[in-house]
Copies of this chain bind each other. A is one copy, B any other.
């Protein structure tokens, strides 16, 4: 393990003092120096292969140039695009993300918060947090830590958020199946403890109420998983008056519903239409290709990173919720109401 080159060694080689070398290598202060000195220092740094120490710098400036991120589960398909969006913005600004997974466990979240705070992250990107209990948000608020909610709203904590337009999405989904003639429609809701799925549920109920002669219902899943989609769909199929269309709270629930439908010997979309939400990667390659609401996932990531960086640079944080537009993506899982 080769020993690291420090600023002092560079200074020595260039024949100047540490402080001068520091100034020469910092674009901000480089102008205060003799142009020739700057050149000499830079050359010395180059020839020694000098790499500044971010730890020392961070300690001195009390800025780590890192951002902490807590998500439930990276293998949940919506997160990879979101994370890439975030890094796309962070990286050119010299920031790096510390990515952690909580699996939705509040205790784990809390300990991840500790770990990230220990590392002196300059801000937090939170794709986690339920509306009912938010230990991390409460602590971040108490500690004066900057944070942006990603694809979730903060509830009562005063943090900015970047989310997709659930209301418009549900409206589009409902209109789509209404146009196809469906009049018995069920919403497969996610847990009401998540702001996203709760919004979708409320949007569905509000919209459904406004349609005369519509038979509708809501079935709630305990989490946003394929397994829960399967389970709740089975529940739906067991009801006396089967719906002809199902609007799922997200794509995973929709995929689970697809499984149950097939297993029950029914066909989608001939017997039953299914709609997802999110347009996760490969939604179009499923069997049948999933009609869903497209959410600009990567953009959600970009936007939240931008908001956080802005907060970090300005030091102020306004609890604004930024809502990104969605669109209907019609594929194979929806069709005309069966005769």
In the complex, which residues 3-55 of chain A have their Cβ closer than 8 Å to any Cβ of chain B?
51-55
A83:B87 contact, CB within 8 angstroms: no
Task: Tell me the count of chain A residues lying within 8 A, CB to CB, of chain B.
Answer: 51
Given contact pairs A55-B64, A120-B55, A287-B287, A73 touches B79 in the complex (Cβ within 8 A): no
Cα–Cα distance between A144 and B2 once the two chains are bound (Å): 5
Q: In whole Å, how far is A71's beta carbon from the nearest beta carbon of chain B?
A: 11
Given contact pairs A59-B53, A59-B59, A117-B51, A282 touches B287 in the complex (Cβ within 8 A): no
Return chain B residues, CB-CB under 8 Å to A98. Answer: 66, 96-98
B281:A286 contact, CB within 8 angstroms: no
Interface residues of chain A, those whose CB is within 8 Å of chain B, are: 1-2, 51-56, 58-59, 64, 66, 73-75, 77, 79-81, 83-84, 87, 91, 94, 96-101, 114-115, 117-120, 142-146, 255, 258, 281-282, 285-289, 315
Return chain B residues, CB-CB under 8 Å to A51. Answer: 114, 117-118
Total identical chains? 2
Which residue of A75, A83, A146, A255 has the most chain B CB atoms within 10 A of its CB atom? Answer: A75
Q: Show 30 A/B contacts (Cβ-Cβ < 8 Å), sorted by A.
A: A1-B146, A53-B59, A53-B118, A54-B120, A55-B120, A66-B98, A74-B80, A74-B83, A74-B84, A75-B81, A75-B281, A77-B281, A84-B101, A91-B100, A91-B115, A94-B115, A96-B98, A96-B119, A97-B98, A97-B99, A98-B98, A255-B285, A258-B285, A282-B282, A282-B285, A282-B286, A285-B287, A286-B287, A287-B287, A287-B289
A80:B84 contact, CB within 8 angstroms: no
Cα–Cα distance between A241 and B55 once the two chains are bound (Å): 62
Q: What 6 pairs between A and B have smallest CB-CB spacing?
A: A287-B287, A1-B144, A2-B144, A75-B80, A54-B119, A55-B59
B285:A288 contact, CB within 8 angstroms: no
Return chain B residues, CB-CB under 8 Å to A74. Answer: 80, 83-84
Cα–Cα distance between A258 and B285 once the two chains are bound (Å): 10
A118:B54 contact, CB within 8 angstroms: yes
Given contact pairs A91-B100, A96-B100, A119 touches B285 in the complex (Cβ within 8 A): no
Q: In whole Å, how far is A251's beta carbon from the nearest beta carbon of chain B?
A: 10
Q: In whole Å, how far is A133's beta carbon from the nearest beta carbon of chain B?
A: 20
Partner of A84, one of B75, B146, B288: B75
Cα–Cα distance between A51 and B1 once the two chains are bound (Å): 31
Return chain B residues, CB-CB under 8 Å to A143. Answer: 2
Given contact pairs A2-B143, A79-B80, A53 touches B99 in the complex (Cβ within 8 A): no
Return chain B residues, CB-CB under 8 Å to A146. Answer: 1
Q: In whole Å, how far is A261's beta carbon from the nearest beta carbon of chain B?
A: 13
Q: A1-B146, A285-B286 are in contact. List 13 more A-B contacts (CB 8 A).
A: A1-B315, A51-B118, A52-B118, A55-B58, A55-B59, A55-B119, A55-B120, A56-B59, A75-B281, A77-B282, A80-B80, A96-B100, A96-B119
